Amino acid sequence: MAAAVAGSVLRGLLRRQLSAQIQPLLSFRAMSSAPEQPHASHSYETLKVSRVREKVFHVELNRPDKRNAMNTVFWREMVVCFNKIAQDSECHAVVVSGAGKLFSAGIDLMEMGSAFVMVEGEDTARKAWNLRKKIREYQESFTVLERCPKPVIAAVHGGCIGGGVDLISACDIRYCTQDAWFQVKEVDVGLAADVGTLQRLPRIIGNQSLVNELAFTARKMMAPEAESSGLVSRVFQDKQAMLEGAFELAADIAGKSPVAVQGTKVNLIYSRDHSVSEGLRYMVSNQAAALYP
Protein backbone atom coordinates (compact mmCIF):
# COMPACT_ATOMS: atom_id res chain seq x y z
CA MET A 1 0.00 0.00 0.00
CA ALA A 2 2.80 2.40 0.97
CA ALA A 3 4.63 1.61 -2.25
CA ALA A 4 1.53 2.38 -4.29
CA VAL A 5 1.06 5.72 -2.54
CA ALA A 6 4.72 6.60 -3.02
CA GLY A 7 4.49 5.70 -6.69
CA SER A 8 1.42 7.89 -7.11
CA VAL A 9 3.14 10.84 -5.43
CA LEU A 10 6.24 10.38 -7.58
CA ARG A 11 4.18 10.31 -10.78
CA GLY A 12 2.45 13.50 -9.71
CA LEU A 13 5.77 15.25 -9.09
CA LEU A 14 7.09 14.13 -12.48
CA ARG A 15 3.97 15.42 -14.24
CA ARG A 16 4.28 18.82 -12.55
CA GLN A 17 7.99 19.03 -13.39
CA LEU A 18 7.33 18.14 -17.03
CA SER A 19 4.50 20.68 -17.18
CA ALA A 20 6.80 23.38 -15.79
CA GLN A 21 9.36 22.61 -18.48
CA ILE A 22 6.83 22.64 -21.32
CA GLN A 23 4.78 25.68 -20.22
CA PRO A 24 7.31 28.34 -21.39
CA LEU A 25 7.26 26.76 -24.84
CA LEU A 26 3.47 26.90 -24.91
CA SER A 27 3.50 30.52 -23.75
CA PHE A 28 6.00 31.43 -26.46
CA ARG A 29 3.80 29.85 -29.13
CA ALA A 30 0.72 31.64 -27.77
CA MET A 31 2.41 35.02 -28.37
CA SER A 32 2.43 34.46 -32.12
CA SER A 33 -0.12 36.76 -33.76
CA ALA A 34 -0.21 34.99 -37.12
CA PRO A 35 -3.23 32.66 -37.29
CA GLU A 36 -2.53 29.05 -38.19
CA GLN A 37 -4.85 26.89 -40.20
CA PRO A 38 -6.14 23.94 -38.15
CA HIS A 39 -6.65 20.46 -39.52
CA ALA A 40 -7.51 20.28 -43.22
CA SER A 41 -10.94 18.86 -42.36
CA HIS A 42 -12.01 22.42 -41.41
CA SER A 43 -12.61 23.60 -44.98
CA TYR A 44 -15.92 25.37 -45.63
CA GLU A 45 -17.68 27.68 -48.08
CA THR A 46 -19.28 29.98 -45.52
CA LEU A 47 -16.93 29.66 -42.53
CA LYS A 48 -13.23 30.28 -42.03
CA VAL A 49 -11.50 28.42 -39.20
CA SER A 50 -8.03 29.31 -37.89
CA ARG A 51 -5.94 28.72 -34.77
CA VAL A 52 -5.16 32.10 -33.19
CA ARG A 53 -3.71 31.04 -29.84
CA GLU A 54 -2.64 27.78 -28.25
CA LYS A 55 -5.81 25.64 -28.06
CA VAL A 56 -7.96 28.55 -29.33
CA PHE A 57 -9.88 28.39 -32.62
CA HIS A 58 -11.36 31.38 -34.45
CA VAL A 59 -14.48 30.68 -36.51
CA GLU A 60 -15.44 33.52 -38.87
CA LEU A 61 -18.73 33.86 -40.69
CA ASN A 62 -17.17 34.27 -44.11
CA ARG A 63 -19.60 35.71 -46.66
CA PRO A 64 -18.59 39.39 -46.37
CA ASP A 65 -19.90 40.24 -49.84
CA LYS A 66 -23.35 39.04 -48.67
CA ARG A 67 -23.04 40.68 -45.23
CA ASN A 68 -22.57 37.17 -43.80
CA ALA A 69 -26.17 36.31 -44.63
CA MET A 70 -27.01 32.74 -43.65
CA ASN A 71 -27.67 30.59 -46.71
CA THR A 72 -28.45 26.88 -46.98
CA VAL A 73 -24.79 25.87 -46.95
CA PHE A 74 -24.13 27.92 -43.80
CA TRP A 75 -26.77 26.12 -41.74
CA ARG A 76 -25.30 22.76 -42.69
CA GLU A 77 -21.67 23.78 -42.21
CA MET A 78 -22.26 25.16 -38.70
CA VAL A 79 -23.31 21.72 -37.50
CA VAL A 80 -20.38 19.97 -39.19
CA CYS A 81 -17.86 22.55 -37.95
CA PHE A 82 -18.85 22.58 -34.29
CA ASN A 83 -19.35 18.84 -34.08
CA LYS A 84 -15.72 18.52 -35.21
CA ILE A 85 -14.56 21.17 -32.76
CA ALA A 86 -16.36 19.37 -29.95
CA GLN A 87 -14.21 16.30 -30.59
CA ASP A 88 -10.94 18.14 -31.33
CA SER A 89 -8.47 17.89 -28.43
CA GLU A 90 -6.44 20.73 -29.99
CA CYS A 91 -9.26 23.19 -29.24
CA HIS A 92 -10.24 24.25 -25.72
CA ALA A 93 -12.08 27.51 -26.54
CA VAL A 94 -13.65 29.15 -29.61
CA VAL A 95 -14.17 32.75 -30.76
CA VAL A 96 -16.92 33.40 -33.33
CA SER A 97 -16.92 36.63 -35.35
CA GLY A 98 -18.00 37.97 -38.72
CA ALA A 99 -15.79 38.93 -41.66
CA GLY A 100 -16.35 42.26 -43.38
CA LYS A 101 -18.41 45.25 -42.26
CA LEU A 102 -20.83 43.54 -39.87
CA PHE A 103 -21.39 40.37 -37.88
CA SER A 104 -24.40 39.04 -39.81
CA ALA A 105 -27.45 40.27 -41.69
CA GLY A 106 -29.33 37.13 -40.63
CA ILE A 107 -31.05 34.66 -42.91
CA ASP A 108 -30.35 34.97 -46.63
CA LEU A 109 -33.89 35.79 -47.80
CA MET A 110 -32.84 35.94 -51.46
CA GLU A 111 -31.76 32.32 -51.37
CA MET A 112 -33.89 30.83 -48.62
CA GLY A 113 -37.12 32.83 -48.71
CA SER A 114 -38.78 30.17 -50.84
CA ALA A 115 -37.82 27.42 -48.37
CA PHE A 116 -40.71 28.41 -46.11
CA VAL A 117 -43.18 28.83 -48.98
CA MET A 118 -42.27 26.03 -51.39
CA VAL A 119 -42.37 23.16 -48.89
CA GLU A 120 -42.41 19.64 -50.30
CA GLY A 121 -45.47 17.50 -49.64
CA GLU A 122 -48.55 16.10 -51.34
CA ASP A 123 -50.95 17.63 -48.84
CA THR A 124 -51.11 20.10 -45.96
CA ALA A 125 -50.18 17.55 -43.31
CA ARG A 126 -47.07 16.39 -45.15
CA LYS A 127 -46.03 19.98 -45.89
CA ALA A 128 -46.40 20.85 -42.21
CA TRP A 129 -44.37 17.79 -41.22
CA ASN A 130 -41.57 18.70 -43.64
CA LEU A 131 -41.56 22.32 -42.49
CA ARG A 132 -41.24 21.23 -38.85
CA LYS A 133 -38.31 19.02 -39.85
CA LYS A 134 -36.64 21.92 -41.66
CA ILE A 135 -37.05 24.27 -38.69
CA ARG A 136 -35.61 21.66 -36.31
CA GLU A 137 -32.58 21.37 -38.60
CA TYR A 138 -32.09 25.15 -38.49
CA GLN A 139 -32.39 25.11 -34.70
CA GLU A 140 -29.69 22.44 -34.52
CA SER A 141 -27.29 24.78 -36.35
CA PHE A 142 -27.13 26.99 -33.25
CA THR A 143 -27.92 24.45 -30.54
CA VAL A 144 -24.66 22.80 -31.60
CA LEU A 145 -22.84 25.84 -30.13
CA GLU A 146 -24.52 25.29 -26.80
CA ARG A 147 -23.92 21.56 -26.86
CA CYS A 148 -20.24 21.96 -27.80
CA PRO A 149 -18.32 21.34 -24.55
CA LYS A 150 -15.77 24.04 -25.44
CA PRO A 151 -16.71 27.59 -24.33
CA VAL A 152 -17.81 29.73 -27.29
CA ILE A 153 -17.23 33.50 -27.27
CA ALA A 154 -19.18 35.69 -29.70
CA ALA A 155 -17.38 38.84 -30.91
CA VAL A 156 -19.87 41.17 -32.60
CA HIS A 157 -19.17 44.27 -34.67
CA GLY A 158 -21.67 46.29 -36.70
CA GLY A 159 -25.11 44.77 -37.19
CA CYS A 160 -26.22 41.53 -35.60
CA ILE A 161 -29.61 40.93 -37.17
CA GLY A 162 -32.24 38.19 -36.97
CA GLY A 163 -30.40 34.88 -37.17
CA GLY A 164 -27.30 36.64 -35.86
CA VAL A 165 -29.08 37.19 -32.54
CA ASP A 166 -30.17 33.54 -32.57
CA LEU A 167 -26.51 32.56 -33.00
CA ILE A 168 -24.99 34.71 -30.27
CA SER A 169 -27.77 33.74 -27.85
CA ALA A 170 -26.41 30.18 -28.01
CA CYS A 171 -22.86 31.34 -27.18
CA ASP A 172 -21.44 31.32 -23.66
CA ILE A 173 -19.90 34.81 -23.62
CA ARG A 174 -20.61 37.85 -25.80
CA TYR A 175 -18.39 40.86 -26.57
CA CYS A 176 -19.14 43.71 -28.99
CA THR A 177 -17.79 46.96 -30.42
CA GLN A 178 -19.12 50.46 -29.77
CA ASP A 179 -20.78 50.51 -33.18
CA ALA A 180 -22.55 47.16 -32.72
CA TRP A 181 -26.32 46.87 -32.71
CA PHE A 182 -28.71 43.98 -32.29
CA GLN A 183 -32.10 43.44 -33.90
CA VAL A 184 -34.67 40.65 -33.50
CA LYS A 185 -35.79 41.28 -37.07
CA GLU A 186 -38.11 38.34 -37.80
CA VAL A 187 -41.39 40.13 -37.03
CA ASP A 188 -40.65 42.60 -39.84
CA VAL A 189 -40.66 39.77 -42.39
CA GLY A 190 -43.80 38.13 -41.05
CA LEU A 191 -42.15 35.45 -38.89
CA ALA A 192 -41.58 34.66 -35.25
CA ALA A 193 -37.92 34.08 -34.38
CA ASP A 194 -37.85 30.30 -34.48
CA VAL A 195 -34.29 29.09 -33.96
CA GLY A 196 -33.51 30.12 -30.39
CA THR A 197 -33.80 33.85 -29.63
CA LEU A 198 -37.23 33.69 -27.98
CA GLN A 199 -36.13 30.78 -25.80
CA ARG A 200 -32.62 31.93 -24.81
CA LEU A 201 -32.76 35.74 -24.77
CA PRO A 202 -35.12 36.03 -21.76
CA ARG A 203 -32.69 33.93 -19.69
CA ILE A 204 -29.71 36.00 -20.82
CA ILE A 205 -31.21 39.44 -20.25
CA GLY A 206 -33.49 38.55 -17.34
CA ASN A 207 -35.97 41.28 -18.30
CA GLN A 208 -39.07 39.82 -19.94
CA SER A 209 -40.52 43.26 -20.68
CA LEU A 210 -37.42 44.29 -22.61
CA VAL A 211 -37.30 41.00 -24.53
CA ASN A 212 -40.97 41.41 -25.46
CA GLU A 213 -40.32 44.96 -26.65
CA LEU A 214 -37.40 43.89 -28.83
CA ALA A 215 -39.25 40.90 -30.29
CA PHE A 216 -42.55 42.73 -30.93
CA THR A 217 -41.06 45.88 -32.51
CA ALA A 218 -37.80 44.71 -34.17
CA ARG A 219 -36.16 47.89 -32.88
CA LYS A 220 -32.39 48.13 -32.70
CA MET A 221 -30.58 47.62 -29.41
CA MET A 222 -27.34 49.60 -29.45
CA ALA A 223 -24.12 48.55 -27.72
CA PRO A 224 -24.56 50.56 -24.48
CA GLU A 225 -28.02 49.08 -23.91
CA ALA A 226 -26.75 45.61 -24.80
CA GLU A 227 -24.08 45.94 -22.10
CA SER A 228 -26.36 47.41 -19.45
CA SER A 229 -29.00 44.72 -20.05
CA GLY A 230 -26.46 41.89 -19.82
CA LEU A 231 -26.57 40.75 -23.44
CA VAL A 232 -22.83 41.47 -23.73
CA SER A 233 -20.25 41.60 -20.96
CA ARG A 234 -17.75 44.01 -22.57
CA VAL A 235 -17.78 46.76 -25.21
CA PHE A 236 -14.63 47.65 -27.17
CA GLN A 237 -13.65 50.69 -29.22
CA ASP A 238 -13.21 48.81 -32.49
CA LYS A 239 -13.15 45.35 -34.04
CA GLN A 240 -9.41 44.79 -33.68
CA ALA A 241 -9.45 45.62 -29.97
CA MET A 242 -12.49 43.39 -29.48
CA LEU A 243 -10.90 40.43 -31.24
CA GLU A 244 -7.71 40.81 -29.21
CA GLY A 245 -9.80 40.91 -26.04
CA ALA A 246 -11.78 37.86 -27.11
CA PHE A 247 -8.63 35.94 -28.05
CA GLU A 248 -7.01 36.80 -24.71
CA LEU A 249 -10.08 35.63 -22.83
CA ALA A 250 -10.21 32.43 -24.85
CA ALA A 251 -6.50 31.81 -24.21
CA ASP A 252 -7.05 32.30 -20.49
CA ILE A 253 -9.89 29.77 -20.54
CA ALA A 254 -7.87 27.38 -22.71
CA GLY A 255 -5.10 27.43 -20.11
CA LYS A 256 -7.39 25.95 -17.46
CA SER A 257 -8.14 22.27 -16.98
CA PRO A 258 -10.37 21.25 -19.93
CA VAL A 259 -12.17 18.74 -17.72
CA ALA A 260 -13.00 21.48 -15.20
CA VAL A 261 -14.03 24.06 -17.82
CA GLN A 262 -16.13 21.70 -19.88
CA GLY A 263 -17.75 20.23 -16.78
CA THR A 264 -18.58 23.76 -15.64
CA LYS A 265 -20.22 24.60 -18.97
CA VAL A 266 -22.33 21.43 -18.96
CA ASN A 267 -23.53 22.09 -15.42
CA LEU A 268 -24.27 25.79 -16.04
CA ILE A 269 -26.46 24.94 -19.02
CA TYR A 270 -28.21 22.13 -17.15
CA SER A 271 -28.87 24.38 -14.15
CA ARG A 272 -30.33 27.08 -16.40
CA ASP A 273 -33.11 24.71 -17.47
CA HIS A 274 -33.68 22.90 -14.15
CA SER A 275 -34.35 23.61 -10.49
CA VAL A 276 -31.56 24.15 -7.96
CA SER A 277 -32.10 20.72 -6.40
CA GLU A 278 -32.04 19.03 -9.82
CA GLY A 279 -28.87 20.91 -10.71
CA LEU A 280 -27.18 19.85 -7.48
CA ARG A 281 -28.04 16.20 -8.07
CA TYR A 282 -26.73 16.45 -11.62
CA MET A 283 -23.51 18.01 -10.31
CA VAL A 284 -22.96 15.08 -7.93
CA SER A 285 -23.11 12.59 -10.80
CA ASN A 286 -20.93 14.66 -13.12
CA GLN A 287 -18.31 15.46 -10.50
CA ALA A 288 -18.02 11.83 -9.45
CA ALA A 289 -17.64 10.75 -13.08
CA ALA A 290 -14.98 13.42 -13.72
CA LEU A 291 -12.89 12.61 -10.65
CA TYR A 292 -13.30 8.83 -10.74
CA PRO A 293 -14.03 7.80 -14.35
Domains of the chain and CATH, by start? 32-255 (3.90.226.10), 257-293 (1.10.12.10)
Q: What is the mean pLDDT of residues 123-148?
A: 86
pLDDT of residue 114: 61
Out of 98, 106, 158, 163, the active site residue is 163
Out of 194, 225, 227, 244, the active site residue is 194
CA distances from 199 to 133, 194, 223, 267, 269 (A): 18, 9, 22, 18, 13
Out of 107, 161, 168, 253, the active site residue is 107
Read off the pLDDT band of 290 (50, 70, 90).
low
Annotation marks residue 166 as catalytic: yes
Annotation marks residue 186 as catalytic: yes
Annotation marks residue 161 as catalytic: no
- Residue range 236-286, pLDDT digits in tens: 999 999 999 999 999 999 999 999 999 999 999 999 999 999 999 888 877
Average pLDDT value over all residues in the chain? 86
pLDDT of residue 134: 82
Which of 200, 105, 217, 221 minimizes the C-alpha distance to 160? 105
Spatial contact of 38 and 94, defined as CB atoms under 8 Å apart:
no
Annotation marks residue 253 as catalytic: no
Read off the pLDDT band of 40 (50, 70, 90).
low
Which of 23-27, 150-154, 271-275, 283-287 is most confident?
Answer: 150-154
Annotation marks residue 205 as catalytic: no
Q: What is the mean pLDDT of residues 158-168?
A: 98
Specify the pTM.
Answer: 0.83
pLDDT of residue 147: 96
